[in-house]
Structure 1
Amino acid sequence: MNLSVIKNASAKSKKSKFSKNTTNVNSLIMNKKLYLFVIPALIMYLLFWIFPIFKIFQYSVTDYNGFAQNYNYIGLKNYSELAKEGVLVNSISNTLIYTVLVVFLGNVISLILALILNMKIRGKGFYRSAAYIPTLFSAIVVGFIWSYVYMPDSGLIASLFKSLGINTDNLNFLGKPSSALYSIVVVDIWKNIGTTTIIYLAGLQTVPNELLEAGKIDGCSGWQLNRYVRIPLLAASVTINVALSIINGLKAFDYPFIMTNGGPGKTTNTLIYSLYKLAFTEQQFGKASALGVVAFAIIVAITAVTVIQMNKKEVSV
């Protein structure tokens, strides 16, 4: 009796081990088959992303003009000429000013707007939709709309000032070097404020009600709840929005191209706009590639450092 029980138990254990082994083999085969679905996307990624990056690094040390089949390797001459001509310094300074304003003002305004839209107010759904509407328009449409808004004589702002009896003779937002870059920053913030606001609103929805109730019991005002409870718990949302804003600011091209064409003078020449101008207007593709390498390094470095620091603060919170 005991022997039969032992034999049956051993047979069952062998079957279970065999079934487990076959299951593991089948799952391994399935995983290998699933990898096949990744190969087309990987090929596309290598072909249209990694390969062009390597080619830009290669062209940056040549005199390639974008058309000729033959070109010469000239070392770091393109980089030195960019520095001597002032293109590099001018583009980097304009881009950094643009980025700092977009990141700081855009996130502050979006956070305030998100806190307001998170309150119990009438028509909250309508206001949330209205805040997101600018994000739905393309950059070209937004650029042309705001170009008419900024028109010196017959634009929306000029007409409004005239109706209030304000002199508009010197009103030229996009035509003055002192105001052109800041006017474009306003457009960029207006265009993207819906996205950052929605991300902050999503973060506010995750704040536990228990903490808010505890704060109210301790006598915290609405401002104190925002300052000491809600905002500290938005660390993840702040990290996402700051990173997106930095990338958006450092690769600014649309509005300088559409609204000012880099002018007046070179006051709105950003890194990407200067790259475009060198490559497709002046046919200096090698020099444009060198500027692209610099822009790539700056974007990666600033974004990486910012995200790492923000993540450290997020963990500490």
Structure 2
Amino acid sequence: MNAVFKRSIYWFMVPGLLVYVTFWILPILLTFHYSLTDTNGFGSLYNYVGLDNYRALLKDGTLVNSAGNTLQYTVASIILTNLLALGLALLLNAKLRLRGIYRTFTYLPTLFSTIVVGFIWGFIYLPDYGMLALLGQSVGFADLELNLLGDASTALWATVIVDVWKGFGGVMIIYLAGLQSVPGELVESAQIDGARSWHILRHIKLPLIAPAITINLSLGLVNGLKQFDYIYTMTQGGPGKSTRTLMFDMFRMAFTESQFGKAAALGVISFVFISIATFALVHFLRTKEVSA
């Protein structure tokens, strides 16, 4: 009876396994398959072209441009989001009046839809009638031409600011959870021994919240490398090619230019790149956790 029961347990894995294979493994395999074809995504008539799609991505500069923009976006968003979130977490972990309300308002932007946030900030960034322009006019900068999304040198950074505003609240909550697990006795002992706040943060708090740092940096890396929403709603990849990311170029090729095979090739490259980068970062951070 016991052996029969143990064998029957495996049947409960079948529904979850089917979902995993259908919506994860199969799409990945099909993407690899279509990346070797010239399919336009419609119909079943296509030819195998080997590695031509991959060569085209390198030859026309699409891969280099989108990968460069994606890396800039990712690094900037990770650094700014985590620095802001950690600073606020340290502040709101102290004994403040109404700190629960402060935490709530700080976390609120995380609850909004990314598409809605993108459209709202698009209106905020409007050159003449946006909130930033009106704010500048109200403080005496009526002649200031502020077109952040229309300037190739600032458009990508403007979208990064939106990502930071939207995401720092969730990152802050994770840091808060880590800080609240730090034993108060260690901090008090260090204070009695004359340690300054910076030394307590560096030698006690940061090593003890290393798992929270690993989680936030890993999630930030994946979020940055697959960024699409803000680019699509705010800049459409422009001006020029200044804000085209890997995911946006993939979408553009597949659904605007009907180059589904080429888009699949970019998807394969993105998948491999994101997997390697995430694994390397997590492995590095896990090593630091152990040494800490």
Q: TM-score, normalised by structure 1?
A: 0.90
* Residues in 2 aligned to 1:186 and 1:142: alpha-carbon distance in whole angstroms: 12
Give the CA deviation at 1:168: 4.5
Give the CA deviation at 1:227: 2.2
* C-alpha contact (below 8 Å) 1:152/1:168 kept by paired residues: no
* Residues in 2 aligned to 1:85 and 1:68: alpha-carbon distance in whole angstroms: 27
What is the match of residue 240 of structure 1?
215
* C-alpha contact (below 8 Å) 2:136/2:144 kept by paired residues: no
* Residues in 1 aligned to 2:69 and 2:58: alpha-carbon distance in whole angstroms: 15
* Residues in 1 aligned to 2:150 and 2:82: alpha-carbon distance in whole angstroms: 27
C-alpha distance after superposition, 1:250-288 (max 9, x if no partner): 000000000011111111100000000000000000000
* Residues in 2 aligned to 1:123 and 1:162: alpha-carbon distance in whole angstroms: 34
Of residues 168-177 and 71-80 in structure 1, the stretch that sits farther from structure 2 once superposed is 168-177
Q: TM-score, normalised by structure 2?
A: 0.98
1:47 is matched with which residue: 22, 32, 38? 22
C-alpha distance after superposition, 1:86-129 (max 9, x if no partner): 11110000000000001111111111111011011111001111
Pairs within 5 Å for 1:75-90: 75-90=50-65
What is the match of residue 174 of structure 1?
149
Of residues 45-54 and 218-227 in structure 1, the stretch that sits farther from structure 2 once superposed is 218-227
Residue 186 of structure 2 aligns to which amino acid in structure 1?
Answer: L
C-alpha distance after superposition, 1:49-73 (max 9, x if no partner): 1011001001101111111312111
Is 2:117 the counterpart of 1:133?
no
* Residues in 2 aligned to 1:155 and 1:139: alpha-carbon distance in whole angstroms: 19
Residue 56 of structure 2 aligns to which amino acid in structure 1?
Answer: E
* C-alpha contact (below 8 Å) 2:31/2:267 kept by paired residues: yes
What is the match of residue 21 of structure 1?
none
* Residues in 1 aligned to 2:269 and 2:117: alpha-carbon distance in whole angstroms: 29
Q: Greater CA radius of gyration, 1 or 2?
A: 1
* Residues in 1 aligned to 2:263 and 2:196: alpha-carbon distance in whole angstroms: 55
* C-alpha contact (below 8 Å) 1:252/1:272 kept by paired residues: yes
* Residues in 2 aligned to 1:68 and 1:86: alpha-carbon distance in whole angstroms: 29
What is the match of residue 163 of structure 2?
188
Pairs within 5 Å for 1:209-220: 209-220=184-195
1:151 is matched with which residue: 109, 112, 126? 126
With over 3 angstroms needed to count, the CA separation of the structure-2 counterparts of 1:207 and 1:129, relative to structure 1, is same
* Residues in 2 aligned to 1:119 and 1:50: alpha-carbon distance in whole angstroms: 46
Give the CA deviation at 1:224: 2.6
* C-alpha contact (below 8 Å) 1:153/1:168 kept by paired residues: no
2:241 is matched with which residue: 238, 260, 266? 266
Is 2:228 the counterpart of 1:256?
no
Work out the percentage of aligned pairs sharing the same amino acid.
51
What is the match of residue 94 of structure 2?
119
What is the match of residue 12 of structure 1?
none
Give the CA deviation at 1:83: 0.8
SS in 1 for 2:156: helix
What is the match of residue 68 of structure 1?
43
Number of residues of Structure 1 aligned to a counterpart in Structure 2: 292
What is the match of residue 280 of structure 1?
255
- Unpaired segments ≥5 residues, structure 1: 1-24
* Residues in 2 aligned to 1:249 and 1:162: alpha-carbon distance in whole angstroms: 33
RMSD: 1.1
Give the CA deviation at 1:30: 3.0
SS in 2 for 1:231: helix
Give the CA deviation at 1:31: 3.2
What is the match of residue 18 of structure 1?
none
